[in-house]
Amino acid sequence: MVSPTATGLLDLKPLHLPIRGGGLDLTAPVVLAPMAGITNAAFRLLCREQGAALFVSEMVTARALIEGNDETLRMITPGVGEHPRSIQLYATTAEDLSRAVEILGRKNLADHIDLNFGCPVPKVTRKGGGSALPYKRRLFASLVDAAVKGASKYQIPVTVKMRVGIDSQYETYLDAGKIAADLGVAWVALHARTAAQLYEGKSDWSKIKNLVEHLAPTGIPVLGNGDIWSGFDAIEMVKTTGCAGVVVGRGCLGRPWLFADLVAAFNGHGVRALPTLFQVKEIIYRHAELLTQYFSSEDRACRDLRKHMAWYLKGFRVERELRAKFGMVSSLLELRQLLDQLV
Q: Taking Cα atoms as reference points, which of 34, 30, 87, 33 lies closest to residue 64?
A: 87
d(CA 220, CA 238): 16
Give the pLDDT confidence score for residue 1 in this predicted structure. Answer: 30
Cα-Cα-Cα-Cα dihedral sign, residues 170, 226, 38, 94 = negative
How far lies 113's CA from each of 19, 155, 191, 256, in Å? 10, 11, 18, 23
Q: Taking Cα atoms as reference points, which of 239, 224, 229, 264 lies closest to residue 2?
A: 264
Cis amide bond preceding 84, omega within 30: yes
88 is in an annotated binding site: yes
Structure confidence by residue, pLDDT tens digits, 106-158:
999 999 999 999 888 887 887 788 898 999 999 999 999 999 999 999 999 99
* CB contact at 8 A, 115 and 158: yes
250 is in an annotated binding site: yes
Strands 165-167 and 170-171, bridge-based pairing: antiparallel
Asked whether the predicted pLDDT for residue 8 surpasses 80, the reply is no
d(CA 14, CA 26): 5
Give the pLDDT confidence score for residue 2 in this predicted structure. Answer: 35
d(CA 65, CA 100): 6
Kindly report each contact of residues 121-125 with a partner whose C-beta sits within 8 Å and lies 24 or more positions away, as own/partner. Answer: 125/166, 125/195
Give the pLDDT confidence score for residue 130 in this predicted structure. Answer: 87
Residue 278 identity (one-letter amino acid):
F
Give Dmax (Cα) for the chain: 58
191 is in an annotated binding site: yes
Asked whether the predicted pLDDT for residue 10 surpasses 70, the reply is no
**Residues near 189 by Cβ (< 8 Å), separated by ≥ 6?**
31, 114, 159, 160, 161, 162, 222, 223, 224, 225, 247
Give the pLDDT confidence score for residue 4 in this predicted structure. Answer: 36
Mean residue pLDDT of the chain comes to 93
**Other residues' Cβ atoms within 10 Å of the Cβ of residue 93:** 14
119 carries an active-site annotation? yes
* CB contact at 8 A, 120 and 137: no
Asked whether the predicted pLDDT for residue 277 surpasses 60, the reply is yes
d(CA 181, CA 84): 22
**Residues near 340 by Cβ (< 8 Å), separated by ≥ 6?**
none
d(CA 88, CA 112): 9
What SS3 class is residue 1? coil
* CB contact at 8 A, 126 and 119: no
Give the pLDDT confidence score for residue 242 in this predicted structure. Answer: 97
Helix (H) or strand (E) holding 78: none
* Catalytic residue (choose from 119, 243, 252, 302): 119
34 is in an annotated binding site: yes
161 is in an annotated binding site: yes
Q: How many helices (H) and strands (E) does the chain have?
A: 15, 12
pTM given for the model: 0.92
36 is in an annotated binding site: yes
Structure confidence by residue, pLDDT tens digits, 60-86:
999 999 999 999 999 999 988 999 999
The Cα angle at residue 37 between residues 327 and 104, in degrees rounded to 5: 155
Kindly report each contact of residues 304-312 with a partner whose C-beta sits within 8 Å and lies 24 or more positions away, as own/partner. Answer: 305/329, 305/335, 307/37, 308/253, 308/254, 308/284, 309/254, 309/284, 310/254, 311/253, 311/254, 311/255, 312/254, 312/255, 312/280, 312/284
User: DSSP letters of 264-301?
Assistant: HHHTT-SS-----HHHHHHHHHHHHHHHHHHHT-HHHH
Residue 102 identity (one-letter amino acid):
E
